[in-house]
Amino acid sequence: MAGRTDYACKQFAFTRGFMITGNGLVKSFFGLMLALLCMVSLQAQGNAHKPEKVLRYAFEIAETGFDPAQLSDYYSRTATENMFDALYRYDYLARPAKVVPNVAQGMPVISDDFKTFTVKVKPGIYFADDPAFGGKKRELTAQDIVYTYKRIFDPKTKSQSYSDLEDVKLLGMDALRRAAEKPAASFDYDTEVEGLRALDRYTVQFKMQESQPRFIYKLTDASVFGAMAREVVEKYGDKIMEHPVGTGPFKLDQWTRSSKITFVKNPNFREEYYEAEPPANDTLSQEIYRQMKGKRIPIVDRVEISIIDEVQPRWLSFLGNDHDFLMYLPAQFANQVIPNNKLAPHLVKKGIRIERYSPPELTFSYFNMENPTVGGNSAEKVALRRAIALAYNTEEEIRLPRRNQAIAAQGAIPPNTWGYDPRFKSEMSDYNPARAKALLDMFSYVDKDGDGWRDMPDGKPLVLEYATSPSAVDRELNEVWKKSMTAVGIQIVFKTAKWPENLKAARAGKLMMWGLGNSASSPDGGSFLDFGYAPQKFEANLAAFQNDDYDKLYRQQVVMADGPERAAILQKMVKILVAYMPYKFNTHRIRTDLMQPWLIGYRRHPTSRSFWRYVDIDTEKLPK
């Protein structure tokens, strides 16, 4: 068909008098225009026959929305990290993690005392088109970076990252926040402060009250600090979670909440090509680099995310070729898919590949320290929480629900982050029902009414309420909790709700206990110690734990450079959390991702979620 159309176009142009002289001058302008139209038509037909490259996979937990400033969950932040840009990013293949410029022009100029960071923004970076821009292309400027970080401080935003950024102590921002918290006041975005300002159209400067050696990590996380345009936020107001407009490689196309999300290439995305620095001794990364080097980013045309919270349909979708890769092999299938931690022969024959790794993540259960049953720092309350932790069978969790795809956690800091000590051993992983019973008896948590269950010291029923989700994985984990608590005479009931609803209730301080996981967004393991920092109550510190010694150590280590002294302080903080037990740290999971033979370039990064731009689909290998 293309050949016949080409011939017809040539004949049509010729009959209308199109002719070029020997020196290349056009003799008929009208003929030239028709010929150009034909060329456009032919090109369009050629593109129409070019297969669309679509990356398809599933989230196991539903998204909560797409406003970076308001998010804290892994899956929503995966989406925003691929739609928005931070000043810096991580080299996709470099190990250990390496920070490189993204929309910044070079690395920041940093003062010797780590109190001032000055960054140049690249000219010619544009937001995705949106009605908020009135039909004009909108360039990213330093003022947008200032606005993005100021939004975190705006009480109206209700940012889950506020306490984290507050600890940075940007000069003048605390006063701006306090003024906005007064009755009938609003946040003044137009007031310039010393700690966060645009020096010119493309230069932004951050100035801190105290030394911040790891502030660069606050400049790399697009999932939270992705640049936003003020006019977009003001246009959509309370609906901003539904209207993400960034400068990143993808933009939101369609969204059926908690069901399916589709993203397409951002036509305004800058001209960028695949570059990386794979380790010389990493054969797989070197091979990926050879395959991908020089390709224009993003490579795929669309990304389609399905929300499938049950493990079996998620696995079957991958096995049936509906998905290009499986993020996190469900542990329930580990024995069949990776017997002895090697891919099963029948899957090898299909060309499926795996990557196994120890991600910087932690699973845990928390106790609400303001709950009258399990909260508080009195001796009997600490004894109760420690008894519950000792009664919980972590080994059984690893063996059954986790299918041996995890190791026991000793503290809050996960593997593959700075500060993790693989030699550290604590009470956190101990399973000792006899000691748990002795603690409960000592502090009068005994059966006072003869119903077979332990009661509170004052005679009221002791009933643990554990929040959970309606998935098969959660049901298996609940069985371990039920069995463990029953063995020591503690009654436990489970309150089931979808994950986003549980998160909302947790932020409001309404849950007694809840189990969930956390994944590092930077290479610094110290960030996990936000779990116990009082100013981050019901945010990073879901347990609402408060301890003056802990908070003092936290503030001390924040301003220190990485080294033995800081590492020693981190260990002291971990030991305080073990002693008071506001959290039962359970496991560090061992993850396995599975890839179809037509997915090219995928490699799990320790902290970054922005892999969509770095992968390709070999359409010749797609199932017919």
Write the pLDDT tens digit of every residue in 251-286: 999 999 999 999 999 999 999 999 999 999 999 999
Q: How far is Cα 9 from Cα 35, in angstroms, rounded to an integer? A: 7
Average pLDDT over residues 42-68: 83
Residue 210 is given by DSSP the state S
pLDDT band (50, 70, 90) for residue 2: very low
Residue 48 predicted with pLDDT over 80: no
Residue 242 predicted with pLDDT over 50: yes
SS3 455: strand
Asked if residue 101 has a cis previous peptide bond (ω within 30° of 0), the answer is no
CATH 3.30.70.270 at 67-247, yes or no:
no
Every domain of the chain with CATH number 3.90.76.10 lies at 67-247
Every domain of the chain with CATH number 3.10.105.10 lies at 361-589
DSSP strand E in 60-184: where?
88-90, 99-101, 109-110, 116-120
User: Any bridge partners for residue 78, and if so which?
Assistant: none
Q: Are 570 and 525 in contact (CB under 8 A)?
A: yes
Q: How far is Cα 82 from Cα 606, in angstroms, rounded to an integer? A: 16
Q: What is the pLDDT of residue 45?
A: 53
Least confident of 10-14, 287-291, 569-573, 595-599: 10-14
Residue 44 predicted with pLDDT over 60: no
pLDDT band (50, 70, 90) for residue 40: low
pLDDT digits (tens, 9 = 90+) for 136-188: 999 999 999 999 999 999 999 999 899 889 989 999 999 999 999 999 999 99
User: Any bridge partners for residue 110, and if so which?
Assistant: 117
In 3D, which of 617, 17, 105, 87 has the Cα closest to residue 321? 617
Q: What is the pLDDT of residue 29?
A: 46
Q: What is the pLDDT of residue 27?
A: 41
| CATH no. of 361-589 | 3.10.105.10
Percent of the chain with pLDDT over 90: 89
Residue 545 predicted with pLDDT over 50: yes
Helix H or strand E segment including 220: none
Mean pLDDT of the chain: 92
pLDDT band (50, 70, 90) for residue 72: confident
Q: What is the pLDDT of residue 408?
A: 98
In 3D, which of 84, 88, 70 has the Cα closest to residue 161? 70
pLDDT digits (tens, 9 = 90+) for 112-129: 999 999 999 999 999 999
CA 78 to chain centre: 5
Residue 577 predicted with pLDDT over 80: yes
- 302-307 and 116-120 as β-strands: parallel, antiparallel, unpaired? unpaired
Sequence-distant (≥ 6) Cβ neighbours of residue 334 within 8 angstroms: 403, 404, 405, 592
Residue 621, phi then psi, degrees to nearest 5: -95, -5
Residue 311 predicted with pLDDT over 50: yes
pLDDT digits (tens, 9 = 90+) for 392-436: 999 999 999 999 999 999 999 999 999 999 999 999 999 999 999
SS3 200: strand
Q: What is the pLDDT of residue 163?
A: 86
